[in-house]
Amino acid sequence: MFTKNFLLSILNQTKKNKVLTFNKFDLTEINEAFNKGLLKFDGEKIYVDSFNRLMIAVEAVNLGVDFEKISRLLDWKEFEEFSSVILEYNNYLTFKRFIFKDIKNKKWEIDVIGIKEPVILCLDCKGWRFGWYKSKVALAAEKHFKRVESFSKSLPNLTLKLKIEKNKNFMILPLIITLADVPYKNLNGSLIVPILRFKSFLYELPEVLFAESNLAIKAST
């Protein structure tokens, strides 16, 4: 079985260069990581992509590595990119780092927006770094809800930018994407969704909306 140090070493070495130096690692651990889908082989090269790095981070968390230590080795943009790819694969119109002004002319930014009528998903990909430190996640969730609430009120003025039609009704969901593998949880108006369960979350979305009917913010264009 691979160790915490093995996983942390991979994350550290692949922060900038996604190719691993083979002779720096134990062959048994390399083979086990490959069999679990954490690494890829290309000829004599071993490498990882952003999804592999997220899987490695989750494995490290499961082995008891501190979230703050992992947070220094991951980039929130990896969460952003992975989330966007999953949304696009599931036929969502996707926007990254969406900037808008509210009715009071205050500027806001949402990491990722996914639109599939009548649903708009607003993702915060930065809150992941808190792991499951509830007080920090709760504060991030509260801030994100206010951000999305402002977005919902500004929606009629954003139709061109979002490529949606006028006179449409939408359900808007604030989501916090996290590294912690926890059940979907409504916290301060935002829904907590683990990054590696995001794909299944989209499949389960109709049931989630039914169970959490008071969570979605209703808005019209």
CATH code, domain with 99: 3.40.1350
User: Token pair for residue 130?
Assistant: 């808190």
Q: What percent of the chain has pLDDT over 90?
A: 28
Asked if 124 and 187 sit in the same domain, the reply is: yes
Residue 129 has pLDDT above 70, yes or no: no
Give the domain-ending residue among 35, 54, 71: 71
Q: What is the CATH number of the domain that holds 56?
A: 1.10.10
pLDDT in tens, 21-49: 766 777 888 888 888 888 888 777 788 88
Q: Token pair 């086990």 is at which residue? A: 32
Residue 173 has pLDDT above 80, yes or no: yes
**CA distances, 5 to each of 26, 51, 69, 70, 74 (Å):** 11, 20, 12, 12, 16
Distance CA 94, CA 50 (A): 19
> How far is residue 82 from each of residues 21, 39, 114, 120, measured CA to CA in Å?
25, 17, 13, 18
Q: pLDDT of 86-106, one tens digit each?
A: 899 899 999 999 999 988 899
pTM of the model: 0.79
Residues 200 and 159 both lie in one domain: yes
Nearest to 57 by CA among 79, 40, 74: 74
Determine the Cα–Cα distance for residues 66 and 71; give it in Å rounded to an integer.
9
Q: What are the tens digits of pLDDT across the range 132-163?
A: 566 777 888 899 999 999 999 999 999 999 99
Q: Alpha helix locations (H) across the chain?
A: 4-13, 27-35, 50-62, 67-71, 76-89, 134-154, 159-162, 198-203, 205-211
- Which residue, among 86, 183, 195, 98, has the nearest Cα to 148 in the 3D structure? 98
pLDDT at 166: 92
- Model confidence over 16-28: pLDDT tens digits? 888 877 667 778 8
Which residue range(s) make up the domain with 55? 4-71
